[in-house]
Each structure stands twice: as structure tokens, then as C-alpha cells.
Amino acid sequence: MRFSVDAHAIGRHLTGNEVYIRNLLTQFADLDKSAEFIAYLSVADADGWVPRRFLRRHVATNPFVRLGFDLSRRLGQDRPDLLHVQYNAPIGCPVPLVVSVHDVSFLDHPEYFPPLRPQQLRYTVRRTIRRSARVLTGSEFSRAAIIRAYGLPDDKVVVVPNAAEQRFRPISREAAAARVAERFRIPSPFVLTVGDLQPRKNHLGLISAFAEMLRAMPSLPHHLVLAGKDSWHSSHVHRAARVSGVADRIHFTGFVSDDDLLALYNACELFVFPSFYEGFGLPVLEAMACGRAVACSNTSALPEVADAAAILFDPYSKDEATRAMLDLVLDGELRARMEKLGTHRASQFSWQKTAARTLEVYHDVADRQRVFQPEAERAAHALRS
């Protein structure tokens, strides 16, 4: 078997998409010694993230060139048994297709995107899904949304949950706090959230709830840390922080390295994830894997991922978000219990399981194609006769 993966996200700070494909490739190397793998990369220094025995092919960074011409050309040359992409396939795809669609927020909430982006995704993702042999997604919530949106048969959409990387683990809180203080000039204790500064992450609501928490308990020494890269929406978030009345307690780190993110998770007193919409919600598991108590939204896939190991709140309610943070800040026993529950919950997910299930889908698709192809050739020959 020869499996190919569109790995253009690696090295481009594409957060969840990059973490996803990077971890799959790492696990594939250990799980399937017989298959040949090809990774299509767009960044020159991304090679280090690809297992040594995998073939590497470089394609254009520009999506119009990559999807319109370059990737199709490479596939014609390499002739793999299938191609695995995230969301968007090349316009000409001469091989069977597996697509990962992590969520359909562009359909359910187009207001979370810059202008024209939802329209573009509506067209390209629909085309990709119709062309695909299987659709992979991380949660039952997203599976139901995809089936509903595209009218697909149940067996075409497969739930393959994600996981926290092994690097996310408990380390010395004192050492982590010292690294955060040195790298970012952020004192402890602090509340942490992680995610690009985009509307659906609900940073505006979190800033408002944090300010309300400090007004309710002025003696609290806590700071708020927002870790994530800027986006078209960033100016609104920075403005909200400036006018919050507690601007000196709110810190923006921008995009952070994996090592810095590990330190931030371990140094925080609690992790808050107030997102309006998630197809999975990987930062919740990452924080839990680091032994931190989590409060998160009760919407979309987050209750499914967190299960009973997080304090859930309505992200549209400032009072509920404020109360969730206060409960964890003020009640040490509750915080310790949630830390223990979260650590156990995170351990139930692994990238090895994710990759193994993904490989099962690969082999099923490739095997079906090998059976179908001779039958199709015989039928074509009969027609010519």
C-alpha cells in the first residue's frame, strides 16, 4: 500500500490542523511498517516533523496553486492508493480520497469568519466531501452536523477522536511559573485560555467575565492570559481588554511554541475555554493532561470531550462564566477534584488510537478500490466489445 497525506499545514502555525496531521504521521511510522507513506509539504523546514522513512514531496504554499495544479501533478507522478486531506482536496484528484472535516462552523456560524471565507468553504468542502470515499471527524457532534449538512449515509462519516500530545503532562509548577515569568513577564496566579483570537473562541465574553470576577472579589491577585495568534478579529479583543477596567491584569502572548504552551498549562491555576463552537476542543484535553482544572462551554462538542471532568457553563452568560471561575479559584478541594478527574479523562484519548483507527479507514478504502477497479475495467471492456 502507498498512502499519501496533504501535510501542507506543518510548519505554518495552523494550530489544530497542524497538530492533527503532525501526530498522525508520527504514529503511522510505528503502527504500519509495511505501507509506504508520502507527505506533501509546503514549508522547507517542515521535514523534521516527518518520520525519516516517509517520502517527502514539496508543493506550493499558495492554496490556489497547490490545489489547482501542483498537488494533482504530484499525485499523478506518485500514484498512491489514496490521498488524505483536511477540508479541501485538489481540483483534479486521480486517486481515492479521505477527508478530515473537523467541524462545519462555516455553515452553522458564518459570522465567525472574515467576509467571503464561508462562501469559499461551502463550495470547496462540499466538492471534497462528495468526491471522498470517507469523511473523518473528531466527535459525534460534528458527525451529526456533517451528515445533516450534506445528506450523507451514516457509514460514510467516521468518528476518530483526537488526543493531547504526550508532551502535555504535569511538570513542576514552580519551574513552569518561572519560565512564564521570564518569557512573558506574567506573574502567578493566572487564568489561562488558548486559541487564535477569532470570534468563536469568545475572548470578549471571557474578558468581561474575568473583569466581573475581580469586581466581585477585589482581593484576588489573579491575571488572565490569552495565548493564541492574532487574526482579523484581534483588534476587537485587544480593545475589549483596554476598556475592561483591568487591562493591567490581561496578557496576550501571541502564538507560542510547544514548550512555552506546556509551561503555560502547568503554571496556570485553572484553564478556561469559553468557545461558542468546537468540533472537538483539543486545548481542553491538553490542559487536563497537564493536571489543570478546566472550566469550559456547555455547547457543541465540548461536553462530549470533557465529559464530567470539567465545570461547564453557558458561554453566552457572563454570570455563569464568572461563577465557574470563582468556584475553581475559591474552592481548593473542588479544584483538586477537577484536576484529578481531568487527568484521568485525558488519559482515555491517545494519538496512537487515533492513528490506528485512521489507518483502518485507509486500508478499507484502498482495499475496496482494488476490488472495484478490476470490476470497472471488466465492465468497460464488455461495453467496448
- CATH number, domain of 318, equals 3.40.50.2000
Residues 142 and 268 placed together within one structural domain of the fold: no
Q: 126 is in which domain, residue-wise?
A: 2-163+351-384
Spacing of C-alpha 54 from chain mean position: 24
pLDDT of residue 381: 41
258 vs 213: CA distance, rounded Å: 30
Average pLDDT, integer, range 301-326: 98
Residues 242 and 325 placed together within one structural domain of the fold: yes
Average pLDDT for the chain: 94
Query: Within a domain: residue 357?
Result: yes
92 vs 360: CA distance, rounded Å: 25
Residues of the chain above pLDDT 90, percent: 91
Which of 227, 267, 226, 229 has its CA nearest to residue 249? 226
Q: Are 53 and 35 in contact (CB under 8 A)?
A: no
Query: Within a domain: residue 168?
Result: no
* N-terminal to C-terminal alpha carbon distance within the chain: 32
Between these two residues, 260 and 369, which has the higher pLDDT value? 260
Residues 34 and 154 placed together within one structural domain of the fold: yes
Residues 53 and 77 placed together within one structural domain of the fold: yes
Query: Dihedral sign, CA of 173, 289, 286, 294?
Result: negative
172 vs 189: CA distance, rounded Å: 15
Average pLDDT, integer, range 168-177: 97
- Amino acid in position 347: S
206 vs 275: CA distance, rounded Å: 9
Average pLDDT, integer, range 289-305: 98
- pLDDT tens figures, 326-382: 999 999 999 999 999 999 999 999 999 999 999 999 999 999 987 765 554 444 444
Phi and psi at residue 297, to the nearest 5°: -65, 155
Residues 374 and 325 placed together within one structural domain of the fold: no
Average pLDDT, integer, range 165-189: 97
Which of 241, 240, 283, 231 has its CA nearest to residue 262? 283
260 vs 243: CA distance, rounded Å: 28
pLDDT of residue 369: 84
pLDDT of residue 47: 85
pLDDT of residue 380: 40
pLDDT of residue 105: 96
Residues 292 and 356 placed together within one structural domain of the fold: no
Q: 132 forms bridges with which residues in the sheet? A: none
Query: Within a domain: residue 136?
Result: yes
The residue behind cell 486531506 is 85
Q: 294 forms bridges with which residues in the sheet? A: 271
Residues 239 and 272 placed together within one structural domain of the fold: yes
What is the helix (H) or strand (E) element at residue 294, kind and residue range? strand 293-297
Average pLDDT, integer, range 175-199: 97
Residues 266 and 367 placed together within one structural domain of the fold: no
- Domains held by the chain: number: 2
106 vs 157: CA distance, rounded Å: 18
- pLDDT tens figures, 43-73: 888 888 899 999 999 999 999 999 999 999 9
Residues 132 and 212 placed together within one structural domain of the fold: no
Residues 228 and 110 placed together within one structural domain of the fold: no
Q: Are 30 and 11 in contact (CB under 8 A)?
A: no
